[in-house]
Chains A and B, each alone.
Chain A
């Protein structure tokens, strides 16, 4: 079997990818022969119910786990085997803020830049720039325990943007926050991604969140297979959006 034709602009590619866990004789299939392409500059929401394989896909994109069969490539490289090649090219915003408790807010934002061997002055300057951009001026030297949940998640977003990575991966980053804070942060996040021309993959189980964030919504069914692949743009009317929303809802309810 020959590999399918590869489009130059594809940033992330899943080619016939499966991921199995447990006993090889009777494995748990988390991802089943999945094909997916995400282009540069796209903001994609991967939407699915809990346990549908979203996080497994996320870990494979992040290079934290390898597929059982098939091939995952990012920018033409294997994120698991060529782990170090992606230094500075991928940044992740996790479900919980995952700030290092022994570092102040500004030092947490500097973390990714430290891996890139940037100078101390430049690190500091960029970290403060992003903290201020995310409304955290005056909190630079606060330790994480002194910040609210929303502020901590802002620091983790600042940490991701500060590295200027081409690809942003987000694993339900606002799910632990209250609805108002969550809505405000994801709108802010979407604006920053567009302003800075990033490619973003956003994992969520919330239909509202997917609509707020994505210009493309990939609905997954268990085991991770594509149920719907929807592209939204400025021309998509409210009626069409409502129809899509109902279709996704029905699909997830099955």
Chain B
């Protein structure tokens, strides 16, 4: 029996490494799709439609402007809501960190808000406001605001005291201090907050549109339910999922570019 010298075993080529990585990423979805497709053979189409039909419906939505504009409207609502909540949350976060009195006043209110279900906010918004877009923006902001605020507070409080003192020793002007110290320090937590809140917002926006809108993915889902069209329901859901995945990917790209300074350990957790 011959024993091969381990140093002679060739390293896998970069191409095969990429192929393996892609395969690992795709495998879970392939399994789910295969299970669904098998189920579609045994159950009626209105319960488990064929994935081929779903694919054509997805394509149809994607290529028809009148249909795709619904997806864009939902995407804009998500981004608008998140941006609004982030700006307000950042301001509140800074105020909370700077003043104990504001902290004691605002924190319980935000915790109370966190306990209110998204659907309750939908009902309140319908009763209080007239405009559809304003209703949805309001719902998006109030449901994601507490999380953004607490994440900004956590990021600010978690800043390194040593680094903060070092930067302060150079006597920076306020804007310079935020630019060189605060922003780079809090950026990792801010990006994580966006990623987490993006998932929450995509769920909330559908509920808001389902009840209080005449357009968007949520409204279209309501139409599919009334038509008992599972193919359409799946196709519209996938449109939203694709948008979330696309935006997550953009956030990951930003993360990779912004945090290239980080040391990478050869040993995983």
User: Are A92 and B261 in contact (CB-based, < 8 A)?
Assistant: no
Which residues of A (81-132) have their CB < 8 Å from a CB of B? 83-84, 86-88, 90-92, 94, 96, 98, 100-104, 111-112, 114-115
Which residues of A (46-97) have their CB < 8 Å from a CB of B? 62, 64, 83-84, 86-88, 90-92, 94, 96
User: Are B263 and A145 in contact (CB-based, < 8 A)?
Assistant: yes
Q: Is B83 interfacial (CB 8 A cutoff)?
A: no
Give A80 to B259 CA distance when docked, in angstroms.
35
Contacts of A102 in B (CB 8 A): 184, 259, 261
Within 8 Å by CB of B168, from A64, A100, A145, lies: A64
User: Are A87 and B170 in contact (CB-based, < 8 A)?
Assistant: yes
Q: Is B130 interfacial (CB 8 A cutoff)?
A: no
Give A92 to B165 CA distance when docked, in angstroms.
10
User: Are A115 and B176 in contact (CB-based, < 8 A)?
Assistant: yes
Q: Is B38 interfacial (CB 8 A cutoff)?
A: no
Q: Is B131 interfacial (CB 8 A cutoff)?
A: no
Contacts of A87 in B (CB 8 A): 170-171
User: Are A112 and B162 in contact (CB-based, < 8 A)?
Assistant: no
Give A92 to B162 CA distance when docked, in angstroms.
12
Which residues of B (143-193) have their CB < 8 Å from a CB of A? 162-163, 165-173, 176, 180-181, 184
Number of interface residues of A (CB under 8 A): 27
Within 8 Å by CB of B170, from A101, A112, A144, lies: A112
With contact pairs A94-B166, A111-B180 given, residues A101 and B173 touching in the complex (Cβ less than 8 Å): no
Q: Is A153 interfacial (CB 8 A cutoff)?
A: no
Contacts of A98 in B (CB 8 A): 162-163, 165-166
User: Are A145 and B262 in contact (CB-based, < 8 A)?
Assistant: yes
Contacts of B176 in A (CB 8 A): 114-115
Contacts of B172 in A (CB 8 A): 115
User: Are B166 and A92 in contact (CB-based, < 8 A)?
Assistant: yes
Give A91 to B169 CA distance when docked, in angstroms.
7
Contacts of B167 in A (CB 8 A): 100, 111
Contacts of B263 in A (CB 8 A): 143, 145-146
Q: Chain B's nearest CB lies how many Å from the CB of A111?
A: 7
With contact pairs A83-B171, A145-B262 given, residues A64 and B180 touching in the complex (Cβ less than 8 Å): no
Give A115 to B168 CA distance when docked, in angstroms.
10
User: Are B171 and A86 in contact (CB-based, < 8 A)?
Assistant: yes
Which chain B residue has the least Cβ–Cβ distance from A103? Answer: B261
Give A88 to B266 CA distance when docked, in angstroms.
41
With contact pairs A102-B184, A114-B180 given, residues A90 and B169 touching in the complex (Cβ less than 8 Å): yes
User: Are B169 and A100 in contact (CB-based, < 8 A)?
Assistant: no
Give A18 to B67 CA distance when docked, in angstroms.
75
Give A104 to B166 CA distance when docked, in angstroms.
16
Which residues of B (208-264) have their CB < 8 Å from a CB of A? 259, 261-263
Q: Is A163 interfacial (CB 8 A cutoff)?
A: yes
Which chain A residue has the least Cβ–Cβ distance from B169? Answer: A92
Give A199 to B168 CA distance when docked, in angstroms.
21
Give A96 to B165 CA distance when docked, in angstroms.
12
**What 5 A-B pairs have minimum CB-CB distances, sorted nearest first?**
A145-B263, A87-B171, A98-B166, A143-B261, A115-B170
Question: Residues of A at under 8 Å CB distance from B?
Answer: 62, 64, 83-84, 86-88, 90-92, 94, 96, 98, 100-104, 111-112, 114-115, 143-146, 163
Instruction: Name 24 interchain pairs, CB-CB below 8 A, sorted by A.
Output: A62-B169, A86-B171, A87-B170, A87-B171, A90-B169, A92-B166, A92-B169, A94-B166, A96-B162, A98-B166, A100-B163, A100-B181, A100-B184, A111-B167, A112-B170, A114-B176, A114-B180, A115-B172, A143-B261, A144-B261, A145-B261, A145-B262, A145-B263, A146-B263
